[in-house]
Amino acid sequence: MLASMAADDIPSTVDAIRSSSAALTTALVPRNQFAAYPSIIEIRPGTGGSEATLFTNDLYKMYTTFFSLQRWQTTVISYQTHAETGGEGCSEAVISVATPESYDLLRHESGVHRVQRVPATETKGRTHTSTATVMVLPKLGEDEAEVENGTDDDPLAHIDMKEVRIDIMRASGAGGQHVNRTESAVRMTHLPTGIVVSMQDSRSQHKNKASALAILKAKVAEKRRKEREEEALSMRRGAVKVGAGRSDKIRTYNYTQNRVTDHRSGESSHDLPGFMKGNGLKEMIEGVREWDKQRSVEVMLAMQEIEDEKKKKEGR
């Protein structure tokens, strides 16, 4: 009697443990500093020549249909066709997503996307592997760019302005009062890390500079943080190398097997045509988000262990 009553409690207790564990994980993992912002997504071909530009175009279509499914407000900032493949290929697409919090979801899309298929241009039926690179940036408003989002307080975001190259699209000629040009694009390069940020959003060159610098700092900080995390994780896990390396490919689109696999969460979708129309993308990103949370907790543990180890040594 008592045993069966106790047994009744087990499933609900297990559920309670699970949900509080999930809540604890969520509470432990700090929210991304730019989570609340709208975003800018950039897609560019990687390796694979004109097939890569075709795949870039496929990704472009995938994201635009996904955005309209989400009813997100978007503006195409740049869409450059690739002449060689008869207008079907795309050599650069930049989309601005006005929806707040879109950065928090889309930031997980940043990275190298790989495609395996027999390209339309292939005559001998061979499978090719090509890539496209997706980059997602938070879209900072004017005020946020000015205060630089508190990145000033983040020691990892500290950069020496002497190591930043600023390129401004300039007219040849006298400048100043002589011309009323509208070109305001700014490109910034952090020389030690090679990180590049281009900004052409505002009509004010000064504002573009301010937002480019804010994003540059955030990206440098992210890179440094990742390096630190990888190091901590590989120490915790012994000699085992962590993952496939976060800078590597994040997802494979295999047309011959009708499969999309995310290499971080390990999850797959077996409806590739549907996926390319934006179906299942949200679920896959949610999976990556979960993976990212777990990983963050592990990173925190690893960091703590390194701290403890240090203290022990000092105490001795």
Partner 1 sequence: MPRLPPHLVTTARAQHPLLPLLLRQTRTLPLALSELRWLREYISQLPNLTLSRQHDHLRHLCRRRSLGAPLQYLLKSQPFGDVDILCGKGALIPRPETEETVVRLFSLLESQLHKNNHNNALLPTDRELRVLDLCTGPGSITLLAASNLYQLHLPRGFRVLGVDISRAALTLARRSLKYNITTGALPPAAKHSISFITADILNSNTHAAIEENFGDGSVDIVIANPPYVSLEGYWKDTSRSVRLYEPEMALVPPSGRDGVRREDVFYPAIESLSRRVHARAVVLETGGDEQSARVEQLFEGSGWRTGVWVDFAGVRRNVVAWGDDSWSWLATSSHS
Binding to partner 1 in span 110-149, by CB under 8 A: 142, 146
Contact 294, 271 (CB under 8 A): no
Contact with partner 1 (CB under 8 A): which of 11, 30, 125, 176? 176
170 in contact with partner 1 (CB under 8 A): yes
Residue 186 neighbours by CB under 8 Å, 6+ apart: 166, 167, 168, 169, 198, 199, 200, 205, 208, 209, 212
152 in contact with partner 1 (CB under 8 A): no
Q: Which residue stretch of 59-67, 114-122, 162-170, 282-290 sits at the interface with partner 1 (rule: CB under 8 A)?
A: 162-170
Contact 214, 144 (CB under 8 A): yes
Q: Which residue stretch of 39-47, 55-63, 80-88, 276-284 sits at the interface with partner 1 (rule: CB under 8 A)?
A: 80-88
153 in contact with partner 1 (CB under 8 A): no
Contact with partner 1 (CB under 8 A): which of 202, 257, 279, 296? 202
Nearer of residues 82 and 219 to partner 1, judged by Cβ: 82
Order of strands across the sheet that contains 164-168? 164-168, 186-190, 195-199
Q: Rounded distance, CA 196 to CA 42, Å?
A: 13
Q: Which residue stretch of 121-129, 163-171, 225-233, 248-256 sits at the interface with partner 1 (rule: CB under 8 A)?
A: 163-171
- Closest residue by Cα to residue 266 from 295, 239, 238: 295
Q: Which residue stretch of 51-59, 99-107, 204-212, 291-299 sits at the interface with partner 1 (rule: CB under 8 A)?
A: 204-212
Would you tell me which residues interact with partner 1 (CB under 8 A)? 75, 77-81, 83, 87, 142, 146, 161, 166, 168-171, 173-185, 200, 202-207, 209
